Amino acid sequence: MNSDLPKVLHPIGGVPLLHHAIASGASIEPERIVVVAGHGAELVEKSAHAYRDDIVTVRQEEQLGTGHAVQQAAEALADFEGDVVVLYGDTPFVSAETIERIVAARTDHDIVVLGFNAADPARYGRLIMDGDALSKIVEYKDATDEERAVTLCNSGIMCASRETMFALLDQVGNDNASGEYYLTDVPEIGATQGKTATAVSCDETETLGINTRVELAAAEGQFQTRRRAEMIENGVTMWAPETVFFALDTYIGRDAVIEPNVVFGPDVTIETGATIRAFSHLEGCHVARDSIIGPYARLRPGTELSEGVKIGNFVELKNATLDEGAKVNHLSYVGDATVGAKTNIGAGTVTCNYDGVFKHKTTIGARAFIGSNTMLVAPVTVGHDAMTASGSVITKDVPDEALAVGRARQANKEGLAVKMFEKLKSLKAKAGGKQ
């Protein structure tokens, strides 16, 4: 990847590859999830726990192959009775349906492997079948010419009972071209001990592995294409779907409208009937039904919008709650704030929430009117039905129904403008017309 970041932490759909793989496994509601971390283990473990705090993490201190990696989970699963499904952190698109078919196939076989028919088998390992029985898996570098002609390829994903998996892994050696302990040796060793193995196949796109930035970009495109199709199928209107980008967990209700060039970061929920106008960016927020956002709006984490809220162009919200029917139509920043129902925030308003060390809260009541270019210096409260005059700097609480004026008194100097212009033009002439 030519990166300081561990491969499985590179993002697709706004979240690390690892999270996609965990989500695939979590879709079948397993009793336990174990993440084996190798390269960049500390960062990988932190990311896994950020996704789910009940995940168990173990380390592969030396990277000695896939079989060796799975062995590191033996202690974490020592008290577990059931099937173990091995997934890969750099293979993000395995579907819940495919995993369910793998688990179902365990009913009749001791070991189940996921395969795919590759359009270009290239250097993939091959699944050597005898009818519906899997006789062995052979790595490309160890395969004969006849075995390389097989197009059914190994995804690396495998399922067996916990007892079978670790008993057979204990017998895997490293007498191969790479000097590694291959998970793929498990079916062949099992066959010598009367264990049956089979393969379940899926579409090649599900087994896409990420090893380069080119492949990462291609995978992002594949993810976005699939999510756009799902959104449209679920009743979301998009004028130019190819310009809209989703995160893994983006949720949008039916009859919502998403205009062109909208980007959804992680943790966004858009309810039925909302409109997200062009060139907006949303992350970590909830937009209730019939709200209108944008164009050119930015909603940051902690933003909670009730029904019928209107957020206009060049407005940024962060950690802000707006009640039903509130409006922030243009050129404003509202952060660390609560805004009451039907309140109008005028253009150029800023909640001054940060003093350089601490964040402070602004509270605005219902039906208030905040005049354009108001600076609300937090912590401060503006009451219900209150008003601030345009251009005010508000540093004290404003009672209900009061008008707050916080600006210097205007003074008009008769004729002074002409005198000033004449003086300035004279200075410019003396300077030879130069500014």
The catalytic residues are: 330
The whole-angstrom distance between residue 53's C-alpha and the CA centroid of its chain comes to 17
**End-to-end Cα separation, the chain, in angstroms:** 53
Of 14, 18, 24, nearest in space to 39 by CA: 18
Give the list of residues 6+ apart from residue 353 with CB closer than 8 angstroms, or none.
335, 336, 337, 359, 360, 361, 362, 378
C-alpha distance from residue 252 to each of 148, 256, 272, 286 (Å): 46, 7, 7, 10
Strand partners, 305: 287, 322
> Count of CB atoms within 10 A of residue 273's CB?
17
Cis amide leading into 11 (omega within 30): no
Cis amide leading into 379 (omega within 30): yes
Query: How far is residue 176's CA from residue 137's CA, in Å, rounded to a whole number?
Result: 13
Q: What is the residue type of 47?
A: S
Query: How far is residue 143's CA from residue 356's CA, in Å, rounded to a whole number?
Result: 63
Please say whether the beta carbons of 411 and 393 come within 8 A. Answer: no
Helix (H) or strand (E) holding 305: strand 303-305
Q: What is the DSSP letter of 354?
A: B
Task: Kindly calculate the radius of gyration of the chain based on its CA atoms and give it in whole angstroms.
Answer: 30
Query: How far is residue 25's CA from residue 316's CA, in Å, rounded to a whole number?
Result: 36
